[in-house]
Amino acid sequence: MNTALGKVVTAIMIDENEHDYFVQPDRNGQTYRLPKKESPQVLHIGGQVRGFVYENENHQLQMTCQHIPTVQVDHYDYGTVVAVRRDLGVFVNIGLPNKDIVVSLDDLPTLKHLWPQPGDRLLMALKVDAQDRIWGQLADDQIYHTIANPPSKRMMNRDVMATVYRLKMAGTFVITDNYHLGFIHPSERDQEPRLGEHVKARVIGLSSHGSLNLSLKPRAYQAIGEDAQMILTMLEHNVNHRLPYTDKTDPTVIRSVFGISKGQFKRAVGHLLKERLVKEEANQLILLKQSHDE
């Protein structure tokens, strides 16, 4: 087994041609092609050079000194999915000029519609099998807990961007761009996100395990119709957060103020009442505090 593959190693130059140096790491005697344009200096026989070694897409052993990826054996970082092959897995770009790394279908969700798609990203390292093939190794829960930051109560109701890293029956596990762990219960999403998908979520709670409880559903005021949104906006812009209109207001007045019918107004107000965004009191429509604090 070639133990140098997928790592940064020091090698000795043993030969050259017009375009390439040929170098050997001192650990296993394998010979690698190093394009001269990538060498940090002119090499002579016996000269040393340090770079990342891998097998390129043409199955040639190669060293690179200019395109050293942050994803390596035992080194985790994000790679970007560039292609999907249903019978093999997904191909991930880690920054090499002529090699994408495959994450095997064995490490992907059973349901193929939950596989990562081009543009999604995966936190991974490299692993080398007994046939010296390099594969992507997805980070496990221990890695995520190691790199995670503790959440703060000040994050409540904030929007966060997060990457999906684990799919389970219980829900979706994510890590935010600021490295906070998060969990999305199935009741807090309209559809299950893909592995590696970058999602926008809202913090709805903090768990006792040091992670965020998140929702992919819109806030109530974002989910309401245009008429209700118009009324809500007028309430938010009013100094006292009150309007002297209710479902008992004359239809002509409603039409004049809001430009909608009395029936449309009643339906919109009913929706706001149901979502507990407003209340009616003393012939006034009153914005509830939590709605304009969000």
Tens of pLDDT, residues 98-121: 999 999 999 999 999 999 999 999
pLDDT given at position 291: 47
Burial class (CB in 10 A: 0-12, 13-18, 19+), 275: middle
pLDDT given at position 220: 61
pLDDT given at position 187: 92
Looking at residue 46, which CATH number applies to its domain?
2.40.50.330
The model's pTM is: 0.75
- Is residue 226 located within the same domain as residue 289? yes
pLDDT over threshold 90, residue 137:
yes
Q: What is the total count of domains within the chain?
A: 4
Residue 39 CB neighbours (<10 A): 21
Q: What is the mean pLDDT of the chain?
A: 92
- Is residue 198 located within the same domain as residue 253? no
Identify the band that residue 229 occupies on the pLDDT scale cut at 50, 70 and 90.
confident
Out of 200, 215, 230, a domain closes at 215
Q: What are phi and psi of 39, to 5 degrees?
A: -75, 135
By residue range, what is the domain housing residue 123?
Answer: 77-139
The mean pLDDT of 245-258, rounded to a whole number, is 91
